[in-house]
Structures are given as structure tokens and as C-alpha cells.
Structure 1
Amino acid sequence: MTTTPLQKQSLILIVDDEPFMRAQLRLSLQCEGYRTAEAQDGREALAIFHELQPDIVLLDAIMPDMDGFECCTRLQLLDDSQYTPILMITGLEDQESVDRAFDVGAIDYVTKPIHWPVLRQRVKRLIQQSQLQQKLEVANRELQRLVTIDELTQIANRRRFEEYCAQEWQRMAREQLPLSLILCDVDFFKSYNDTYGHRAGDRCLQFVAKAIQDTVKRPADLVARYGGEEFAVILPRTYGDGALHIANRICAAVRKLAIPHSNSKIGNYVTISAGVATEIPQPNSDFQDIIDAADRALYQAKVAGRDRSEQYIQQSSSPVFFMNPSPQLA
């Protein structure tokens, strides 16, 4: 008999306290090309499931100590992927037992005495459905990644930035912890494009994006392309001093790239300016506040000479800006 790749790869865990039934199931399934593992009770089934992560479980409903219903419930807790179907094998056909099997997480059931062609078809169908669901989930995750990634720079795009900013703003409001934002802008980028062409401009943005990404280390921080030659960095649980330090490091990292820019008005290389804002969000407030503050700080960094970061701090009714010129311009 010819076996399919599906059957050759699939592992079936057989759980039954009767050795003869386990042997029958094993021989029937192995004849179909499946790999099998066996457990004689619920506790052994839990241990084997944790170790081998089978593709499907054939579970006897009536077993001593831990019956199939309790075992099924516990198997659901162990199934990190949530894709492993459980097929209950039972001699009980009353409505209550059938309902209970589905309530504890069984996907389907067969009754004893087993009708072997029916069992083989149900096993095949359940494995196919499980694998199809896994592929669909992978495809959905990839699709979600694609719609939130900037195609040119391969960092988060504006859409992802706004989603994450709103999410972290709300979370920091609940926890009453600071959220910091850095807005960066490549200095004289239009002049760079005019001088070197748009293909070189694209490569420049890719290098700058990587330099920023390499500077921001924590998993909770997000680097995004905000638009055109602008980039944004979201820093949850970060106070102003820490955010300013990161902004200075970002400016230094881009400066260190030494990308030639003969028409820059402040030197011979590509540089960036950065604006930093930090707030402890208040409940029911809008995250647009911190974007506006960082944007004002970025504007002040440009006015002050570019290639530097500036921090926005609100004091009473008048904002105060702390300029941090680069070593080149100090």
C-alpha cells in the first residue's frame, strides 16, 4: 500500500487501558502508514503528550484512575499550539456522554466496537484539518506582518506605529508609568535625493533604519518609519533621561555610518535630528499629545542647527526645550 506524506509524518498517540485494544489500534493505523505511540492510562498519556507532541490523540473514555474526560481536559492545557485534535473512543452512546466529550474538548468520537474504515477516515480528516488550520494561522501571521512592515526599510510602518503607540499609551495610563517617544528626521534629505538620486536615497533610508534598530535593544521598544525620511521610536516604561540618552546614541549611530552628503549644510555626511517627549499618560487621554510634543522638540532641534536631539518638557503653560548638540557642533 502506498502511503501519503501526511501519513508518514503524522504521529498518533493511542490512550487505552486495554492492551488488546491498543494493539488493534496500533496495527490498524500502522498499516495506513502512521507512526504511533501508546499510553495505558491518563497520567502516562499526559507525560507522552508533553514529550512527543503528537498530531492527534485517540483517547478511550472509560479508564480507571483518570478517565478520558478528565484526561482530555488536561491535554487541552498542555497543548500550546491548540491544534492537536482529540478523538474520543467510547462505548457510551447516550446523549450526556456525547455532550460531555465535546464539552471537554474532543473534536469527534467513535463508538465501540470500532468500525475500522470509519476510524481511518476520521483520523485522516482530523489530521488534514489540523494541518490546514496551522498553515492558515502561519499565513495569517505573515499577512499581518506584511501589512505592518515598511517594505523599503523592513521596520514597522506608520500603521503599526499608531497601533502600538495607542496600545502602550493605554497600558502606561493604567500602570501610571512613563512612555517616551523619539521622532527622528534625516537632515537635508531632499537635497540628498537631488544630489545622489532616489535609489541612493532609498539605500540611505535603509542604512539609517538599521542603525536606529540596532541602537534600540529592548523587545518592548518599537522602531517605525513614520513617513518619508522620518522615523519614530516608542519607549514604554522609559523616563525622559533614558529616552534622551537613546536619542543621542541614535544620532551618533547615524553619524558613524559616514554616508557622504556633499550638499549637507552642516557637514559632509548624512545626519539626523531627533525630538524627545515623555509623558505619564492620564486615563482617557489621547496619545496624539506625545506625538505633538516630540514633533515640537524635533522642530527645535532643526532650528538649533540639526544633527542633535532636543527634549520637550512642559512646565506650567510654557514648554522648555533642552538642547543636546552633537560633539561636532558643541
Structure 2
Amino acid sequence: MPIQPEGAVILVAEDDPFMLRLLGQYLGQEGYQVIEAPNGKAALDLYVLHWPDLVLLDALMPGMDGFEVCRRLQAIAQGNPAPMLMITGLEDEKSVDQAFAIGMADYVTKPIHWAVLRQRVRRLISQHRLEIQLREANYQLQQQTLIDSLTQVANRRRFDEYLLQEWGRCVRDQVPLSLLICDIDHFKHYNDHYGHPAGDRCLQQVATTLKQGIHRPADLVARYGGEEFAVILPNTPLEGATVVGDRLVQSVQNLSLPHAMAPTTAVTISCGIASVQPSANGLPSDLVLSADQGLYQAKAQGRNQYQAICVLPNGTQPPFGAVMF
């Protein structure tokens, strides 16, 4: 892919004012935006302000040399910084090995051969941009494998992974974990009466409403299967989960989606809620089973409501009715 210099930002760290100005003028003429840093400390500060496409580092600077700047930029960028090109008068094997060992992408020697510098700058920026595009493409591909294509919420695979992950975390942190399983009431009758395209739109609207009804980044809405959705609420006791459950039931009802085949004449959901203090001896499936039992009770009680169950650490439940809401 040919590099387009316009818009590419290069951070130059050089303690020699004349060389700094010379590098800035040359790279500017090549079409790059140049940020000048007179020392290593300034380079670190300017890096987090501009997040450049390339860093040119003088190897020998007073106070903080180019090697130390490279190490610190690795930490700042969490091991994935912009490529760094060292400008050095050191040509000994040890210095070159050290530069590559700490993460330098390449180096040029003084006095600078400008044609060599030009080609290496273009190559490193081009590679950096391609790596960014590749990471973004891989991320998008990964997201597609974890998202339900119809409703655009997490799919069953993501639900299973996340529930297991949060179960382990809650065991370590000794905090509660809650789960909601929601089912669209009389959905088969809805599909039979309005048709499957309308049923798909109904699923999409309900999924969007459920997603809008959770407010913390750690909470997850997933399509559990068919017309069922699940909501994982980490670090949430039963009382907090029932607040969420009530809000979700009311929000779907407030959509006022017509459902001529339902007693309420509108689309509603039933919701089973379960909460547990996870333990190393317990299983996430205990929580799923209890939430499913809560859903069964909500439907048995007339639908368009939630029922909640507290699961004991050993996976059992208190006597029926003692903790139902």
C-alpha cells in the first residue's frame, strides 16, 4: 500500500537544536507533520498528546537517552507503541543489539544519509498503518463471532464464555453474581399471527430495549436462544438484580408493540432472576438452572413479571417461597 505522507505524524527527539531543526525541515518537506522534542522527557509528554505514527530518537541525549525513552514508551503504549527509529553515531555491535532488543524498529547512523532516512521512514509508517488495519480487521472479525447477527447483542457463545469468566472472578473477589433469563411472552403466537419478518423485528426491538436497560459496562445482554435473552450482572446481589429485572419488564411493556394474540394485547416479557455468591465448589450451571426456574414461575404466575431466587453457595435453594419476589 503506498504511503500517503499527509496526516502522518512523526515525533523527533533530538537534543542538538541544529539537528532537530534540520530533521524537522526535511520531514516537513516530505509531507509529514513533525513534533519536535528537545529531550527525552519532552518526548514522553508529547507522545501521549499526539500518539504519532513514528518516533525518531537520538540515541545519546542528556538526562534520558534514547534507549530509556524507548523502554518507557513501550510501557506507555502497553507493548504496542508506534515504530521507533534510532538516530545514532554508535555503530558498535553491542549498541545495535541493545536497540533492537528493547524494541527499536530500525536505526540510521550519523552523519545522516537522507535518502536512506526517507525510505526507512516511509517503510515503517506504511507497516505501522497496515498493522493497525490488520488489528482492527481481526477485532471486527472476532466481534462478529461473538455477536448475534439478528439482534446485535452477544450470542450464546459469548454468554457461555462471559458467565464462566465472571464466575471465576466473583469467586476470587468474593462478590455476588446475578443472572436474568427473559422470554418474550406468547412469541410463537406472535410469529404465527404476524409472520416471521415481523417476529424478527420484534426480537430486535426487545433486544435493543434490554441493552438500553443495563447501565454498567460489565453487565452483558445476550441472546440465549430463540426468543430468550439472558443478562449477566457481575458484582450484583439479588436486591439489585430485581431492580434491573423490574426495569426491563416495564421497559418492554412500555414499547407498546401490538400483540393481538396475547391477553395484554402488547408484547411483554417474563423474567427469571437468580443470584449467588459463587464458590469454587459451585457451578455456573446452578445459577442458570435457578434463573430458568424463576422464569418458569413467572410464566406460571401470569407472565409480564419477574420472579427471583437466591441460590445458596452449595447450589441449593432455600425453601420455596422464602426468597421469591
Give the TM-score normalised by structure 2. 0.91
1:101–1:271 Cα change, 3 Å: same
C-alpha separation between the residues in 1 aligned to 2:324 and 2:256?
Answer: 23
**Equivalent position amino acid for 1:220 in 2:** A
The unaligned stretches of length 5 or more in structure 2 are: none
Partner of 1:307: 304
Matches within 5 A, 1:1-330: 6-79=4-77, 82-264=80-262, 266-283=263-280, 285-314=282-311, 319-321=319-321, 322-324=323-325
Once the 2 structures are TM-superposed, how far is the Cα of residue 21 of structure 1 from its aligned partner? Answer: 2.4
- Contact 1:313–1:319 (8 Å) recurs in 2: no
C-alpha separation between the residues in 2 aligned to 1:263 and 1:52?
Answer: 59
- Tell me the secondary structure at the aligned position of residue 173 of structure 1: helix
1:44–1:314 Cα change, 3 Å: closer
**Equivalent position amino acid for 2:77 in 1:** D
C-alpha separation between the residues in 2 aligned to 1:94 and 1:123?
Answer: 23
1:252–1:31 Cα change, 3 Å: closer
Q: % of aligned pairs identical?
A: 51
Once the 2 structures are TM-superposed, how far is the Cα of residue 124 of structure 1 from its aligned partner? Answer: 0.7
Once the 2 structures are TM-superposed, how far is the Cα of residue 193 of structure 1 from its aligned partner? Answer: 0.5
1:295–1:106 Cα change, 3 Å: same
- Contact 2:87–2:110 (8 Å) recurs in 1: yes
Worse-matched range after superposition: 270-279 or 308-317: 308-317
- Contact 1:301–1:323 (8 Å) recurs in 2: no
Query: What RMSD, in angstroms, separates the aligned Cα atoms of the two structures?
Result: 2.0
C-alpha separation between the residues in 2 aligned to 1:195 and 1:118?
Answer: 72
The C-alpha deviation readout for 1:131-180, integer Å capped at 9, x for no partner, is 11111111122112222111111111111111111111110011111100
Once the 2 structures are TM-superposed, how far is the Cα of residue 31 of structure 1 from its aligned partner? Answer: 3.1
Once the 2 structures are TM-superposed, how far is the Cα of residue 198 of structure 1 from its aligned partner? Answer: 0.6
Once the 2 structures are TM-superposed, how far is the Cα of residue 323 of structure 1 from its aligned partner? Answer: 4.9
- Tell me the secondary structure at the aligned position of residue 153 of structure 2: coil
- Tell me the secondary structure at the aligned position of residue 8 of structure 1: coil
C-alpha separation between the residues in 2 aligned to 1:39 and 1:248?
Answer: 56
C-alpha separation between the residues in 2 aligned to 1:61 and 1:313?
Answer: 62
Q: How many residues align?
A: 320
C-alpha separation between the residues in 2 aligned to 1:259 and 1:161?
Answer: 27
The unaligned stretches of length 5 or more in structure 1 are: 325-330
C-alpha separation between the residues in 1 aligned to 2:200 and 2:283?
Answer: 33
C-alpha separation between the residues in 1 aligned to 2:247 and 2:77?
Answer: 43
